Amino acid sequence: MRDYMEQWGWRWLDVKDQNPLVLRAMVYDPDRQEWDDTTKGIANRVCDFFCPYFETQTINAAIDRALSAAN
């Protein structure tokens, strides 16, 4: 997962540079993916939110904040 996250980390930085209003989010399945502390650290630094799929309140709150910021 580290190589994958490093690639997406750079892409997320480029996307945010192009449009600061973009919400950089990653939702993952911890039962199907192996996230070590280093990989999670990269995700937390480059994403506006990063959480497992079952944290629905966190996901909904982030979407609500993004929609409010866009309006």
The pTM (predicted TM-score) of the whole model is 0.72
Confidence of residue 27 (pLDDT cuts 50, 70, 90): very high
Instruction: Return the higher-pLDDT residue of 5 and 43.
Output: 43
Main-chain dihedrals φ then ψ at residue 52, nearest 5 degrees: -70, 155
Residue 57 has pLDDT above 90, yes or no: yes
Domain-wise residue ranges, the chain? 2-70
Is 53 in a helix, a strand, or coil? coil
How does pLDDT run across 35-56, given as a tens digit for each residue? 899 988 988 888 888 999 999 9
Structure tokens at 39: 């990989």
